[in-house]
Amino acid sequence: MDQVKQITVIGQGYVGLPLSLSFAMNGVSVIGVDSNEKIVDELRRGITYQTEKVGELTIREILKAQTELGTYQVTTDGAAAIRASNVIILTVGLPIDENGNPIYTAFENACTAIGENLQPGSLVLVRSTVVPGMTETYCRPILERLSGLRAGDGFFLAYVPERIAEGKAFDEFVTMPTLIGANDEKAARFAEAVIRINSTAEIVHSNSIIAVETAKVLENLQRDANIAIVQEFARFAEAAGIDTFEVIRLANTHRRVQLLSPGPGVGGYCIPNAFHYLNAKAREVRVPLPLLSLAREQNASIPVFLVEKTAAYLSAGGKNLNGSRIAVIGLGMKDHSPDDRLSPAVEICREAIRRGALVKAFDPNVSANYPYQVKTLEDACRNADALLILNTIAPGFDPLAEADVLSDSAVIIDTRGIVDPVRLPKSAIYWKI
Ligand SMILES: NC(=O)c1ccc[n+]([C@@H]2O[C@H](COP(=O)([O-])OP(=O)(O)OC[C@H]3O[C@@H](n4cnc5c(N)ncnc54)[C@H](O)[C@@H]3O)[C@@H](O)[C@H]2O)c1
């Protein structure tokens, strides 16, 4: 029963692609399925914009090698892949609309395809982050109705949250402890056999699927609230003339304290959405979440706050944001990241442009080709009235490498606390978050 024969991974995004390749590298035959034809076409041609690595080996090289070996195939034909596999892993996303409500379309389509093609004895592993309760109250009924099979008997169902951080995927599949939520023994053992293909870390079981789903959401919420704390603290520290980063460095020497750093805001798919996943369930059970809601609002307000800060500093130097040239370093949702989903940096650019600024942003990791994206740091910085340092592009990246082409009295907004003030151009006006 728990012999893994062939794995289908539904969704070939930031999680699904490296997960598929990680299994393939361990000798298991994997079919990656994605409904986006462009992604499938590019993957077939060996193209991905992800920057994951195993040692010095890039994900592109791994993709090429596993495709040539035949251990990895990719297709838009989910039906055939699911019929040919006895393990189906779901990694599609659950986006949030502008009113904070989950959009279930991708999930519904994926569950429908699985349900219609599921073979008896197969395992369905949900790895996406979900509204607590979704595996059993949303996925399971679709799978059972369309397959005519029952979970725990005709097929097996488990929830295994993905906990990797982008950029560390291949390493963290192996080393990050994994949670398995399953409410029957056979599903739990089958899921463990799948996880053991590429993991040497601790595996923690729970027979409460909803507890595992909620734990995943809470892990992300903890980071959102932690960042909100340091962002609020940073406003206080600035007014009191205390260095925020120095305080955090000192406080973190306490073994039970782990403060994160303030920055340009919180982006990416996982952390900003976590509140909305929990809130969808909280609304159902009629419980308000005032603290978590405030933390989310606090983090969501940072991009506008930073544009206002830039405007105020420009104005102190006799310039208007409207018409000023703004150089932006970093468009990804975090350092070194090609992922621009819900990126605060993109929001900062949008807001500055809305207020009449002439933005040029440099980030070679991001492949989106925004109209204001430029290819060199020098192009972004030339004659700029303000330089916004939002992330660090690559290890060892020097945000001041082209500072000598900035305009006189340029405003330098350092959201990462990484500039050495000794290296600032003489006329620069410097602000650190
Ligand atoms: N990105 C991360 O680092 C990370 C970490 C932990 C957990 N997660 C969670 O994992 C899930 C996936 O995240 P991601 O970052 O890989 O998202 P993603 O958007 O990069 O990938 C999802 C992919 O699924 C495809 N898709 C959508 N509907 C489909 C369907 N019906 N059939 C086949 N393919 C379909 C999309 O085209 C997309 O390529 C999310 O729930 C996310 O919250 C992500």
Q: DSSP character for 122?
A: -
The type of residue at 185 is: E
Ligand 1 atom at shortest distance from the alpha carbon of 269: 43
- Across 105-136, b (16+ Cβ under 10 Å) vs e yields ebbeebbebbbebbeebbbbbbbbbbbbbbbb
In the numeric block, the tokens 């944001």 are attached to 321
Q: pTM to 2 decimals?
A: 0.95
Q: Which residues of 298-312 are buried (b: 16+ CB within 10 A; e: fewer)?
A: bbbebbebbbebbbe
Domains 6-207 and 302-432 share a fold: yes
Supply 375's token pair.
Answer: 């290819």
Question: Residues 102, 209, 113, CA angle at the centre, nearest 5°?
Answer: 55
CA–CA distance, 104 with 109 (Å, rounded to integer): 9
Find tokens 């659950």 and name the residue.
94
Which amino acid residue places its CA nearest to atom 15 of ligand 1? 14
Q: What are the phi and psi torsion angles at 411 (to 5°)?
A: -90, 130
Residues in the chain: 433
Q: What is the pLDDT of residue 41?
A: 98
Compute the distance from residue 424 Cα to the ligand 1 centre, in Å.
41
Domain parsing of the chain, residue ranges = 6-207, 216-299, 302-432
Instruction: Please give the Cα distance from 337 to 331 (Å, whole number).
Output: 8
Sign for the CA dihedral angle at 205, 211, 216, 220 comes to: negative
Mean pLDDT of the residues in the chain: 97
* The pair of three-digit structure tokens given for residue 268, joined into one six-digit string: 């990416």
CATH class for the region spanning 6-207: alpha beta
The answer to whether 165 and 172 have CB atoms below 8 angstroms apart is: yes
Residues of the chain with pLDDT under 70: 1-2
Mutational test site, ligand 1, from 162, 217, 271, 335, max ligand atoms within 8 Å of CB: 162
Inter-residue contact 331 to 363 (CB < 8 Å): yes
CA distances from 147 to 126, 195, 209, 324, 407 (A): 17, 25, 21, 60, 66
Report the separation in Å between the CA atom of 168 and the middle of ligand 1, taken as the mean of its atom positions.
16
The pLDDT of residue 163 is: 97
Going from the Cα of 299 to the center of ligand 1, the distance in angstroms, rounded, reads 23
CA–CA gap between residue 247 and residue 237 (Å, rounded)? 9
The pLDDT of residue 35? 98
Q: For position 397, what pLDDT does the model report?
A: 94
C-alpha 264 – ligand 1 centre gap (Å)? 24
Can you tell me whether residue 205 is helix, strand or coil? strand
Q: What six digits make up the tokens of 295?
A: 């933390």
Q: What is the CA radius of gyration of the chain?
A: 23
Residues whose CB is less than 8 angstroms from the CB of residue 97 and which lie 6 or more positions away in sequence, other chains included:
103
Question: Exposed, middle or buried by CB within 10 Å (0-12, 13-18, 19+), for 27?
Answer: exposed
What pLDDT was estimated at residue 3?
87
Looking at residue 2, its pLDDT comes to 58
Grouping H, G, I as helix, E, B as strand and the rest as coil, residue 429 is: strand
User: Could you please report the per-residue DSSP string of 125-138?
Assistant: EE-S---TTHIIII
How far is 299 from 58, CA to CA, in rounded Å?
33
Tell me the C-alpha distance between 227 and 215, whole Å: 19
- DSSP 3-state assignment of 7? strand
For 287, list phi and psi in degrees, rounded to 5.
Answer: -120, 125
Residues with CB under 6 A from ligand 1: 10-16, 33-36, 39, 78, 91-94, 106, 109-110, 128-129, 162, 164, 166, 269-270
* Coil, strand or helix at 54: strand
Q: Which fold has domain 216-299?
A: N-(1-d-carboxylethyl)-l-norvaline Dehydrogenase; domain 2 (1.10.1040)
One of 1.20.120.530, 3.40.50.720, 3.40.50.9100, 3.30.450.20 is the CATH number of 302-432, namely 3.40.50.720
Q: Which pLDDT tens digit goes with each residue over 54-90?
A: 999 999 999 999 999 999 999 999 999 999 999 999 9
191 phi and psi angles, rounded to 5 deg: -60, -40
- SS3 (DSSP) at 179: strand
Cα angle 106, 107, 113; round to 5: 90
What 8-state DSSP symbol labels residue 301? T
Side chain identity at residue 336, one-letter code: H
Task: Give me ligand 1 centre to Cα 250, in Å.
Answer: 37
